[in-house]
Amino acid sequence: MSVLAPVRPAELPVLRERGQREVFCGLTGIIWLHRKVQDAFFLVVGSRTCAHLLQSAAGVMVFAEPRFGTAIIEERDLAGLADANEELDKVVRQLLTRRPEIKLLFLVGSCPSEVIKLDLGRAAERLNGSYDGVRILNYSGSGIETTFTQGEDACLAALVPEMRAEAADQLLIVGALPDVVEDQFRRLFAELGIARVESLPPRRAKDLPGVGPGTRFLLAQPFLGDTARALETRGARHLPAMFPFGAEGTTAWLHAAAREFGIDEMHFRSVVAPGRERAKRALAHHAERLNAKSIFFMPDSQLEVPLARFLSAELGMTLVEVGTPYLHRGHLADDLAALPAGTQISEGQDVDKQLDRVRAARPDLTVCGLGLANPLEREGLSTKWAIELVFSPVHGFEQAGDLAELFARPLVRRDRLTV
């Protein structure tokens, strides 16, 4: 077994575009964050449109009492006929009285609350000491100049100042992973001999880890730039690595931690070998369908570069273009280095120009947002919803086959519908 360590090629060409965008806003991150932090509540201060987005995206009816909701900004608030801060205080009081199990409350900004200049940061500071045992924080989920995964980044960055000072050596996994995936990684780190492993975000507010000079962290998601900077400000050190998609990406991600913590190389190989082989067998099941198929990534989730690396290196797909909303070269360095020479990368979005390139290339598969998928399907192009790749458990060895299947499924459907 060899650990994939890419040789850095000449810098890949990047096409930078700015124009009309087609993406969800950062409020979408609440859908997976509220499931991860089990005693947190996400109170969006926004419009009825914000409320409809959350309810429809989550597939949860309000009478089920999910751990998110919307404080609706009414016409009276917009016209200045009501004190928005007094109204917000009233909503928070009612919420915490009704839901005593809440230990962490996020006041989440939106486009409407930012337009009327409602200072939710100051509101959170004012309310934070008013309720025993409840921490109240603020972050923005606005869709103004952001893409939807940045909601998680803003949320985790808001947690970093609340982390206690911690000098001890520890490994911090940064990024909201499904519990089953997090548990798999924790077991592997324990088998490797890394004694202290923490997660951000934690499953419960009381388990928020500490941070300090002894903290080394692995990013589980490539869209956590603000969170990484906040952790580095607190003295933590980032461990650069490929992101843990597929057999090779997961091996490289784990190896970065093993190398940092002085784990013997032979021991590392013996620990990861079973999972790596299971992943390779699972990928082989889909390789015949995906090999040599062309794929075009529209910029959407910021997962595009590591997923393109996975599909190209491990399944043999041909990359027509890899679009991403923002390109963090430092965090994506290893994945960028493993892309085929000459791969076209685009940063930012000008949706009309990119759609023209999709139509000209007619790839076997286009990864894009929901708003673009149906029109492209109508034109005879197979698509994959980018947001499904964020909602689904796709990290690690055990999920490698499931990740490959998400890309194979549209091609299987197309073949079955072809007469």
pLDDT digits (tens, 9 = 90+) for 55-64: 776 665 555 5
Question: With respect to CATH, is domain 26-146 assigned 3.20.20.150?
Answer: no
238 DSSP β-pair partners = 217
283 neighbors 314 (Cβ within 8 angstroms): yes
Q: Is 111 annotated as a binding residue?
A: yes
Does the pLDDT of residue 348 top 60, yes or no?
yes
Residues of each domain in the chain carrying CATH 3.40.50.1980: 1-24+147-419, 26-146
Integer angstrom CA distances of residue 3 from 41, 44, 241, 258: 41, 44, 12, 12
- pLDDT for position 10: 47
Q: How confident is the model at residue 78 (pLDDT cuts 50, 70, 90)?
A: low
Average of per-residue pLDDT across 180-193: 98
Does the pLDDT of residue 17 top 70, yes or no?
yes
Of residues 118 and 80, the one with the higher pLDDT is 118
Q: Which residues neighbour 406 within 8 Å (Cβ) at sequence distance 6 or greater? A: 384, 388, 389, 392, 394
Locate 115 and state its tokens. Answer: 């337009």
Query: Phi, psi (5° rounding) for residue 245?
Result: -110, 125
Does the pLDDT of residue 112 top 90, yes or no?
no
- CATH number of this structure's domain 1-24+147-419: 3.40.50.1980
Does the pLDDT of residue 369 top 50, yes or no?
yes
Cβ neighbours, 10 Å, residue 83: 11
Taking only the tens place, the pLDDT of each residue in 127-174 is: 988 899 999 999 998 876 667 889 999 999 999 999 999 999 999 999
Locate 320 and state its tokens. Answer: 């027509």
Nearest to 107 by CA among 155, 153, 44: 44
Taking only the tens place, the pLDDT of each residue in 193-244 is: 999 999 999 999 999 999 999 999 999 999 999 999 999 999 999 999 999 9
Q: Which residues neighbour 401 within 8 Å (Cβ) at sequence distance 6 or greater? A: 279, 282, 283, 285, 286
Q: How confident is the model at residue 338 (pLDDT cuts 50, 70, 90)?
A: very high
- pLDDT for position 5: 44
Taking only the tens place, the pLDDT of each residue in 36-71 is: 999 999 999 988 888 877 777 666 555 556 788 888
Does the pLDDT of residue 246 top 90, yes or no?
yes
Average of per-residue pLDDT across 173-191: 97
Is the pTM here over 0.95, yes or no?
no
Q: How confident is the model at residue 76 (pLDDT cuts 50, 70, 90)?
A: low
- pLDDT for position 79: 54
- pLDDT for position 113: 78
- pLDDT for position 315: 98
Low-confidence winner among 25-34, 209-218, 384-393 (lowest mean pLDDT): 25-34
Average of per-residue pLDDT across 336-364: 95
Query: Phi, psi (5° rounding) for residue 168?
Result: -65, 155
Does the pLDDT of residue 4 top 70, yes or no?
no
Mean confidence (pLDDT) of the chain: 90
- pLDDT for position 114: 74
